[in-house]
Amino acid sequence: MGLWNPLCAAAWLFAVFAPLPSEAALRSVGAVVQSTASYDGVDLRLSSGAQARVGFVTPNVVRVRISPQGPLESESPLPYALAAPPLRANAVITGAGQRSRREGDTLELRSASGTRVLIRKSPELLVSIYDAAGRLVSADDPARPTAFDAQEGSFEAAKRREDYELYYGFGEKTLPLSRHQQHMVMWNADVPDYAPGHDPSYQAIPFFIALHQGLSHGVFLNNSSRSWFDMGKTEPQRWRFGAARGELDYFVFTGGPERSPARVLQDYTALTGRGPLPPLWALGYQQSRWSYKTQGEVLRVAREFRQRQIPADVLYLDIDHMDGFRVFTWNPKTFPQPREMLGQLHAQGFRAVTIVDPGIKRDEGFAIYRSGRAAGAFMRGADGKELHAKVWPGVCAFPDFTSPAARDWFGQLYAAPLELGVDGFWNDMNEPGVFAPDGFNKPEISLGPQKTLPLDARHAGDGRPGDHARYHNVYGMQMARASFEGLRALRPDQRPMVLTRAGFAGVQRFAAVWTGDNSPTWTHLALTIPMLTNLSVSGVPFVGADVGGFMGSPSAELHTRWLQAAALTPFFRTHSNDVSAPREPWAFGPEHERINRETIELRYRLLPYLYSLFEASERSGLPPMRPLWFAYPGDTQASLVDDQFLLGGDLLVAPVLREGGRQRRV
């Protein structure tokens, strides 16, 4: 309080109200006016009225939280990304509680490992982090102090960027391997037939690993609203990030004394969770299409695999197995005896996975719709009425997966297909993606982030009610959670197999992830490596892309090459859309069938290795599929290699990615 003497006031007023260079509506968080030491760090009051906390989660992980409008949000309920409440590691604190006497006054926190956080108190808060060897890990950029737009509730911050610093992660992006000089938006979007470079995509994960001269660190922005990262695109000397709403809450992973990417990822997954060991069969070869149209067709495909002696573990049933696309139903004409069909599949050693979309047909004659309404499970619009949008079945209601009661209700729906014999489940369209409303006469926004529920729709937020703008990015992950937890409750002795299209930081706790509606082109085949390795270093171990490209028919050569490349990726599934030519391994003639059989056999020979990698991943957070730089961070040649990857520590995979290719450099 004593700081408000007339001498300081003028300088403070300037600091607080001076517009920032380009965004006049943004206001700096200002200087530290009060600091209070605690066990793990400091609580700060800032001249703008913002409040902040800076502290250690572990000796090598620093958390910074700044709330523009006063008190920090409580951690209960726990933010969706986090697997458990963050720990607090002891800090030795100097300079807290003291008044700021001159510009540049600092406060220091030091952890048991020797990691140091320096907080410059005035004229504006600046946080810098150093490792135990005294090397800079991350520093606020003094030219662009952290700032907020009080009216909109948005914020942005900037960090100094080293020349040639590279960045990996950010979830599912169709961008080059390193995301330096890219601007990215974190907003889950249904983007069929996406062009390379299109952003955003199905899975936003606001976490990345930075690499500079062999040293790594990581940053995770714990905020589920629409956020963005500019990794030196606008200004090469800094990287910037911000979000539309909420708290600036981020974790900096220093990478420990070795400053390694593996340490960063272990620490990040200690916070957001690790992928559980999948059932062994889910690591086998999986065959899908939209759709095998009848139970007879499904059984024919199964028999053909066995007759031709091509190993396979799983067949997928896409939306046409349902009665009018009503989830958890069977089409009485085309799938009249699902139990018998599933029994015959099992007798031949197959498992079956069915698709489950979030949209529940609004139909008074549909028992699941009625029971969802009675359970209060459906989302409501800003007007308080049940929210509707169109998807495959027509007008649908949408479960609010941020409500524990809705998750329980939905999870219980899996009892019926489990009892019939379905083995695993595929959660699709859960960005959520919806169709344009009737009478919509603008050009179809097929690639726009607009194609979702209204931003002012309401969510329960597990006790922290909020709108869809806040919870959009976690919708898919919470659907996968409802599925995973429901299955585990129904069959506690079996490991659930859930596949999801949308996700957010922490999705790995609940599901495998595939990269949505890709295209049958060589470009898309090549794209699978940067996409899947970056998803992997975003903490998601169980990842794959539709073999052959979803949106049409690949040539025989492309399909065969794609199968080879995918055979050594974690999730190995061939899938295609409703108008593509057949794509079973024998569909391209005897020569390709022979190669495809060998490819799939190779997968099966390596299955014990892959299974062991998944078991290790559950304990360490290290993904089975790894980019080369991850294993060799000090080797600058490895840092941009995007056409090879490592499977575990022992296998280098260098597939042919070029039409007509017969050899390649490794």
544 forms part of the interface with ligand GLC (CB under 6 A): no
Work out how close the CB of 202 gets to ligand GLC at its nearest, in angstroms, rounded to a whole number.
8
Catalytic residue chosen out of the listed positions 140, 320, 462, 517: 517
- Which of 290, 425, 562, 629 forms a contact with ligand GLC (CB under 6 A)? 290
Q: Whole-number minimum distance, CB 509 to ligand GLC, in Å?
A: 22
Smallest distance from the beta carbon of 207 to ligand GLC, in angstroms? 24
15 vs 512, beta carbon nearer ligand GLC: 512
Spatial CB neighbours of 319, under 8 Å, sequence gap ≥ 6: 290, 291, 325, 355, 357, 392
Residue closest to ligand GLC when measured from CB atoms: 290
For residue 467, state whether it binds ligand GLC (rule: CB under 6 A): no
516 Cβ contact partners less than 8 Å away, ≥ 6 residues apart: 172, 190, 191, 192, 194, 201, 202, 501, 550
Asked if residue 318 binds ligand GLC (CB under 6 A), the reply is: yes
Residue 431 binds to ligand GLC (criterion: CB under 6 A): no
Question: From the CB of 519, what's the least distance to ligand GLC, in Å?
Answer: 12
Q: How far is the CB of 333 from ligand GLC (least distance, A)?
A: 19
Extract the tokens encoding 491: 């069959």
Q: Which of 319, 345, 389, 487 binds ligand GLC (CB under 6 A)?
A: 319
Closest CB to ligand GLC among 374 and 579?
579
Omega of the bond leading into 28 within 30 degrees of 0 (cis) = no
38 vs 484: CA distance, rounded Å: 38
User: Of 383, 360, 382, 355, nearest to 373 (Cα)?
Assistant: 360
Q: Does 516 bind ligand GLC (CB under 6 A)?
A: yes
Whichever of 48 and 329 has its CB closer to ligand GLC, that residue is 329
Helix (H) or strand (E) holding 651: strand 651-653
Residue 355 in the binding site for ligand GLC (CB under 6 A): yes
For residue 280, give the DSSP letter.
G
- 517 an active-site residue? yes
The values of phi and psi at residue 370, to 5°, are -65, -40
> Closest Cα to residue 567, out of 299, 310, 194, 191?
310
Give the count of beta carbons closer than 10 Å to the beta carbon of residue 45: 18
Report the candidate in 171, 182, 174, 286 with the shortest Cα–Cα distance to residue 518: 174
Candidates 131, 156, 428, 642; binder of ligand GLC (CB under 6 A) is: 428
Number of residues that bind ligand GLC (CB under 6 A): 10
Spatial contact of 614 and 278, defined as CB atoms under 8 Å apart? yes
Tell me if residue 199 is catalytic.
no
By the rule CB under 6 A, 194 interacts with ligand GLC: no
Contacts of ligand GLC in 571-610 (CB under 6 A): 575
Contact 28, 145 (CB under 8 A): yes
Q: Which of 40, 172, 230, 517 binds ligand GLC (CB under 6 A)?
A: 517
- The pair of structure tokens assigned to 177 is 């391997």
Q: Give the whole-angstrom CA distance, residue 136 versus residue 129.
A: 6
Query: Is 428 known to be catalytic?
Result: yes
- For 345, the token pair is 């599949």
Contact characters 379-418, ligand GLC, x per CB under 6 A: ----------------------------------------
Distance CA 89, CA 661 (A): 54
Q: One of 431, 462, 546, 642 is an active-site residue; which one? A: 431
Euclidean distance between CA atoms 416 and 637, whole angstroms: 53
Q: Which residues bind ligand GLC (CB under 6 A)?
A: 192, 290, 318-319, 355, 428, 501, 516-517, 575
Q: What positions carry a catalytic annotation?
A: 428, 431, 517
